């Protein structure tokens, strides 16, 4: 499954004009509680080009996807990530401890 995950991340980078800085697996597979119907919970942090951050308008800071082959993806922009980190966001902190990077 790793090649499919890497392919999907590369696709996101190309179609959304972002750079994925960190991608991890979260959920049951990451923590050793896989069941037969477990999907692959891919979580990632990404950044846009500098000009994107200069806009005065609010922009979507989340990318989400679900594929037919059970990839459940959710990523946060770097700015959003820093704001959540300042609040000690539990979900974000768990990403940093994922054994599957």
**pLDDT tens digits for 38-72?**
788 899 999 999 999 999 998 999 999 998 888 89
Q: Per-residue pLDDT tens for 15-45?
A: 999 999 999 988 777 777 777 777 888 999 9
Q: What is the pLDDT of residue 37?
A: 74
Question: What would the two tokens of residue 9 be?
Answer: 């991340």
Q: How many CB atoms lie within 10 A of CB 45?
A: 21
For residue 101, being part of any structural domain is answered with no
């990403």: which residue's tokens? 95
Q: How confident is the model at residue 79 (pLDDT cuts 50, 70, 90)?
A: very high
For residue 20, being part of any structural domain is answered with yes
For residue 52, being part of any structural domain is answered with yes
pLDDT at 98 over 90: no
Q: What is the pLDDT of residue 82?
A: 94
The total number of structural domains in the chain stands at 1
């Amino acid at each position: 499954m790793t090649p499919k995950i890497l392919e999907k991340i590369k696709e996101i980078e190309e179609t959304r004009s972002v750079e994925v800085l960190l991608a991890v697996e979260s959920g049951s597979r990451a923590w050793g509680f896989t069941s037969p119907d477990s999907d692959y919970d891919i979580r990632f942090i990404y950044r846009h080009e500098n000009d994107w951050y200069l806009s005065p308008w609010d922009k979507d800071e989340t990318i989400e996807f679900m594929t037919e082959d059970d990839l459940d993806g959710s990523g946060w922009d770097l700015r959003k990530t820093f704001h959540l980190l300042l609040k000690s966001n539990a979900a974000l902190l768990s990403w940093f401890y994922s054994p599957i990077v």
